[in-house]
Every structure is written in C-alpha cells, then in structure tokens.
Structure 1
C-alpha cells in the first residue's frame, strides 16, 4: 500500500512508502527534541548557551569528540580543541643485587644481607589535558601498588594520588600553579623517574629534596630566546609533604631562578635522547625555608634525617630549615651534563643545636645518534656524588659518603621504552670509628610507557 505525498514540478505524483515516511518523522522528532534540550539548558544557565550548542553538536555530529592513540597513551579531544584528556600507563621493572636502596650507616655496610631482588618499582597511571582554554591545564598521577617488604602487611602498597595540579598560564611571562606536585626546586628531583639517565637518583637526593608539597606557585619565562632568557618559580606551601594539612601557622617558601644562557630552554628530563642540534644550557639557583616538624621529605610525605627527632615526636615548629642549591645543565648532539651543589641548615630549636649538610653530584652521558659505529640510541653515562652529614650533635663529627656509578642505556623508543643497567661503588668514611667501608651494587631496569 502507498500514500500520495505530493506532486513534482512536472505535475507527476511523488510516491513514498509508509516506512520512509516514518523515518522522516522520527528524524524530525529527534531534531525537535535536540532543540528543546538546548532551550532547557540555556534557560537554566543563560551564560552556558555556547556549551548547549556544543552538546547539540555532539548529538548530531559523531566526530565532535575525537579519540586517537598518541604515543604514549590515548587522547580524547573535542573538535574545537577546547577540551582534551590524555591517559597513559607506565611500569618500571627492576632487578637489584645486593642492596635495594643506598646503604647509609656503618651497620648497613657491615651487617647487610645479600639480597637478589626483582620488583615492580613503579606502576603509574597518568591523566592530563586542558579545559575551557588551552592555557588551563590539569594533571593527575596515581601510584598503583608498588612492591613492599614481606613482613609489612600494609606499607605503601595501596594506590595513592601523588600528583594533582592545575596550571593557569594565560601568558608565558606569568602563570600560577595550584595543587600537589614535586616542587620546582632542583632538576634531579623534578625530572621524572622515567626520564632519568640512571636507574635511580643519586645519594644526594634523599637529604635535600623538598619533594611533593601542597600549595601555590607563580611561574613564568622572561626575555625568551635572548641572552637574558630566564625562568622563575616562587611558591608557598604547607611544608608537611604529600597530602597533609598544615600543623601550624607557618609555611614553606621556595624560589628558583633559571638562566637559559644560550637563549634556549631545557625540559625537565635527563639524557640527550633526541640530540640537540644547537647547544642548550641553564644555570639555576634555588632557595627554600620551612618551620615545622619535618627535616626531610619523600613521596611518602614528611620524615626525619638521622640523629634528629622523628616528625611524629617533634613539636609542630621544632625545626627551622634553610637550604639552597646551585645547578647546571647542558645538552648538545647527544652530550648531556648535569650538576648540583646543595647546602642545608637544620636548626633544632628544642635542643638548641644546628645541623649542617652538604652534598654534590655531577653526571655526564653521551647518546649515539650515528656519530659512532655502535647502535643508535645507546648511551654511556657516569655519575659522581658525595654527601657530608652530621653523625650526632657535634658539627665537626660528620660522615662522608660517596657514590661512583656507571650506566648503559638503550633507548628503544626514547625514555618511553628503554633498558638500563648500572653499577655503583658506594663508600662511607665513618668519623666516630675511623673506618672506611665500601660496597658494590648492580641494577637492571626496563622502563616502559603505554
């Protein structure tokens, strides 16, 4: 059965099936419903008219939201480019013998038990992107159940949010960051563990890092691509470490000035994986001060240095910390150099004592980009570090630790997929006993991102 719908321009009838008529009516109803939805949204939020338009567009246009794989990770992005989200995963698989961490005391060197250990050192999920404006960016990082000791039923084996931050950077010269992240104090700590030259950071890191904090920071780049090219960072934080509320009315203050003396900026990562065609370097100085119960920080939060009261036993404002860092970094055609010198003063107001810490590391690496008759993407690197730290209450009674590490990297896909093997010779000059002890360590690691 058919129905007459109309007459053509020539006077001949136009016939259509009932099924075709039904489809046309259904399409018309969907358009009306979309218009009503748009009207309801605009009525509830007149200023959200543009958003309503985008919702209708998304309903009627299948490619409004685009999904693609952008190595490493998957990216969701709106057609207008105003909203984006990128998700990727990272795993760090490591073998160590005989020490998992750096030996720090005389007993660590003399009485340690050899351990041949495989571990899932880091498993991370990263989510980042921008919204509303391309200069409003966000980032989250979740640590997913790292390895733990066999006799630790709880430990740090639970998933935890280690980074969450929002950057508002309308101008390159001035912006603000709020949230929780590794504070921009020194390169070795801010450089991701997945963007390092060696399997792990140097012996200097544990004592001097101010690590992750909760707070706000101004940042910007001035005099871009000139001999005066300068990056600056100035922030105020709780000073209690990761995911912790402030215990008193005091705050941590931090400032960093980075001079890009060749007019080109260096990213927060080690090794010259891509090979800089032009020499690129930076000279930086940083300063931080805090008044509280912490004397060191890590990804686990607030902690204490040896010979000082634990944070849980200290008063909220027992320790006044003043520390500064000098830093140098340089990359050119596969060559990568990085160096830091640290000084840290810890005033113990309860015991009327001042403890002084000094440390330095310097490292150099060369990645082959076809200049040598060896596989491209192969890097050889060396690092030296020393640390002077008080053993007890006497300032002259200070132990000296040293590290000599050589590493070999093979970059399969840059830092996103690489194999690293390094060997360390670690020493301790113990002031009290007069003993000089040493140990060896080898580590093998596969770091991969998806």
Structure 2
C-alpha cells in the first residue's frame, strides 16, 4: 500500500512539474519526461521499462515446467543537481523479482531500491561516486539488463557476480595516445549486498578494475551494451581485469548468497573471500564477441561455529562457493536489425569443497531490434549439462520495452 501511495504521489508530482517547468517530450527510448529547471541548475530524465518473459523447461525424466511473468519493471531517474558536474541516478524495482530478498537484514522490507547514487566530477577526469550501485565486477553484470544481447545473463554471472552494494567509488580515465584509453575504478563497499539495514556485520569490500581501450572508445558506450547495434566502422576492443577482496565476509558468495549464521544465532562465520574477473569485449561492423573468466577463493571456505565445530545447515556443511567459471558469447547483427547469437558457459565449483559437479550450458539466441534495445523481442534456447545429473533444455521468449 505504501508503494502504491508513493507511486501515485510521484506521478501527480511529475505532472505538476511538467506544467511548471520547461520540458519537452523526448523521442522513444529517451525517457518519459526530460525536465529542466528554469534556471538550468537541475535536470531530471524519468524513464520506465518492463520485460515480459515466457519460459519452458524440459528435464530428462521429469515433467515440463512453464511460466509467464513480468521479469523486470522499473522506474529510473537521472540528471544533475546544481551543476552538470554533480550527477545522480535512482532506480526503483516494481516487479516481484525486483523486490525479492526481504529478510531480517533488510528490516523485512521489500528491496525496492536498486540504485541510489550521486556522481561528482570533482577534478578533470576524476569522479567520486557515493551510494548504492553496481560494483565494478564482471562486465556482464555491469551491462544493464535492458541492454543484453540474449534474454538474460549467463550462469557465470549468477554464480560469481558481486552485483550492487553501498559504498564509494573513485573513477578516472586518461589517454596513452590519441586513441589508447585507460580507465580505472576503485571501490570501498559495506560488503553485504543491497538494501541492508543491519549495518556492517563483517568487514569491508574492496574492488579494483582497470580497462584498456587500444583502439579508442566504443560508440554510445557500446563496451557495456550487448550486440553491435551501432555497427562500429573500425574495430573496437576493451580488455579488463578486476579484483575483489571481501574482508571477513559473512556471506557464502562474497557479498551475495546466504549469511553464514552460527548455531543458536551466535554471530556469523567470517572469512576473507577473493574474486578475480578477466573480461573482454570486441565489436566490428555488426559482429560482437564477449569473453569472461571468474575465479573465487576463500581463506577458509569451511564455515565453523564459535567452538570450531562444522557449521551445518539441513545436515550439510556450510561452505563458501569457491571455484571458477568461463563465459564466451558472440553474435552478428544483420542490417535488417535481426541478430543471431551464441553462448557457451562452463562452471566448475570446487567439488571437494562445495560437492557440486561441473556444469556447461550452450545457448542459441535470436533477437529482433525494433527500436534498438528500447523495443525488442528476444528468444533463446539453452541446453544445460551437469555431470552426474539430468540434462535440461530451456526455451525463453521475452518482450522488452524501455521509455
């Protein structure tokens, strides 16, 4: 009820502002409203997007499963306040899956807020970010879900992502030559994910990322968009490495996954968790290729109670999900805005620790871009192979609209 009231109040406010301030209706995909203060000391672009997903899954020896749902539905606000050097971004999740994950650590409240961050260009090529937003981890995670080449992200992302967190980021870029660009990001975060209200239960999370652009910048920030929709007329390449150290982490996937709560609620098991990401993006005349590698380890992956006895959950040892993953994805965009794409993902968690077998997934996708990523229809079919388990076939169809 509170969310409905808030949304109604927001839209009434937006209509009032539109009448009171200078505004213009942008073209499709560029926001619902573009607002500018009378003295030009602030701007706000208001956007809305939704994804409608149909899924069918067939598993050897099991009955077919199917579902239809609103995969994502979000309100977005961005602009600047007082000066173009002081920008902001807010994003609210409206769908069930956007808000899921409520627990005692979020005050049992739905997780409405995805992004709430301010960005200050305080000196030349330096920017300071503060708030809740995506950490500079794997490329596929940082790519917006609105700009994906296939229906959704890979298994590598679901197993190894460090997603969003609350903290600060320092960003900088410089040129080695007329074309060669280097970008650096350093982040300090709370280390327990988004919308946490119980404070810092473990240590802090430190992330660094360096990106190399030997052939110059991509058109329209295409290094963080799926597919080559701008049809780069010269080869463009981005190479990157990121390293994440979560000091005294209390979750089993760095800042993601489940809390490692000791028996009888006697505090949390803490251990250092490190994650390495190496990735690349290449685009040229409609052809695109993305590669990602992830590797997670822990100082002591076996969770323990205060008396050093094994920490168990449902009779099983609680462990950090250590291991490695590889994701390779490629596609070609035809001039009629149809694209074919393929993806191979391999996940190898350390079986001796996690007890989980290697898994490989092969995905073939087809996309029709009606108005770029703002209006598109995508479908893909995936074959999942897990050692010692039943194979699985999954088909998905998704419609995406983004104002």
Same fold (TM over 0.5): yes
Check the 8 A contact 1:144/1:159 in 2, yes or no: no
Instruction: State the 1:70 CA deviation.
Output: 4.2
Deviations 1:66-91 (A, max 9, x none): 33334321100135543110111101
Match of 1:381 among 341, 347, 358: 341
Q: Is 1:358 paired with 2:358?
A: no
Note the alpha carbon deviations across 1:146-189, whole angstroms, 9 max, x for none.
369xxx9xxx9957011100000144521110100111212100
1:282 maps onto 2:232 in alignment: no
- Alpha-carbon spacing, 1:315–1:350, altered in 2? closer, same or farther (3 Å): farther
Find out whether 1:134 has 2:84 as its counterpart: yes
In 2, Cα distance between the equivalents of 1:439 and 1:318?
35
Find the aligned partners of 1:118 and 1:350 in 2 and give their Cα distance: 38
**Offset of residue 310 of structure 1:** 6.0
Does structure 2 conserve the Cα–Cα contact (< 8 Å) formed by 1:407 and 1:422?
yes
2:8 matched to which residue of 1?
none
Distance 1:272 1:295 in 2: 36
Matched, 1:88 2:47: yes
* 1:294 aligned onto 2:251: yes
Contact 1:140 1:165 (8 Å CA) reproduced = yes
* Match in the other structure for 2:23: 66
In structure 2, the CA distance between the partners of 1:77 and 1:311, relative to structure 1 (3 Å rule), is farther
Q: How many residues align?
A: 356
Give the equivalent residue in structure 2 for 1:189.
Answer: 141
Contact 1:225 1:263 in 2 (8 A): no
Using the alignment, how far apart are the partners of 2:376 and 2:359 within structure 1?
30
**Counterpart in 2 of 1:373?**
none
Higher relative contact order (CA 8 A, sep 6+): 2
Q: Deviations over 1:328-363 (max 9, x none)?
A: 101111111100011100233644888630100000
Match in the other structure for 1:98 = 57
For the structure 1 residues 317 and 133, does the alpha-carbon distance in structure 2 shift closer, same or farther, using more than 3 Å as the test? Answer: farther
Alignment of structure 1 residues 155-304 onto 2, 5 Å: 158=110, 160-171=112-123, 173-223=125-175, 226=178, 228-244=180-196, 245-248=198-201, 250-265=203-218, 266-290=222-246, 291-296=248-253, 302-304=256-258
Query: CA 1:197/1:355 → structure 2, altered by over 3 Å: closer, same or farther?
Result: closer
2:105 aligned residue: none
Q: Say what the alpha-carbon RMSD is for the aligned residues.
A: 2.9
Shift of 1:207: 1.6
Measured after TM superposition, the shift of residue 65 of structure 1 is: 2.5
TM-score w.r.t. length of structure 1? 0.73
- How far does the alpha carbon of each residue in 1:113-159 deviate from its partner, in whole angstroms, 9 at most, with x for none? 422211111010101111111121101101003369xxx9xxx9957
Q: Within 1, Cα distance between the matches of 2:261 and 2:64? A: 28
CA distance in 1, matches of 2:111, 2:205: 27
Structure 1: state its 5+ residue gaps: 1-61, 100-108, 370-375, 430-434
Aligned to 2:384: 426
Give me the whole-angstrom Cα distance separating, in 2, the residues matched to 1:314 and 1:361: 39
The residue that corresponds to 1:36 in the other structure is: none
> What SS class does the counterpart of residue 199 from structure 2 fall into?
coil
Query: Residue by residue, what CA displacement relative to the aligned partner does 1:279-336 show, whole Å, maximum 9, x if unpaired?
Result: 1111100000112211227xxx7423xxx94699684452320110111101111111
Unaligned runs of 5+ in 2: 1-18, 103-107, 309-318
Q: Bigger radius of gyration, 1 or 2?
A: 1
- Shifted more, 219-228 versus 328-337: the winner is 219-228
Within the alignment, does 1:342 sit opposite 2:302 as a pair? no
The alignment partner of 2:96 has SS state of coil
1:77 matched to 2:43? The reply is no
> How far, CA to CA, are the matches of 2:177 and 2:114 in structure 1?
34
Partner of 2:399: 446
Deviates most, 339-348 or 189-198? 339-348
- Counterpart in the other structure of 1:404: 362
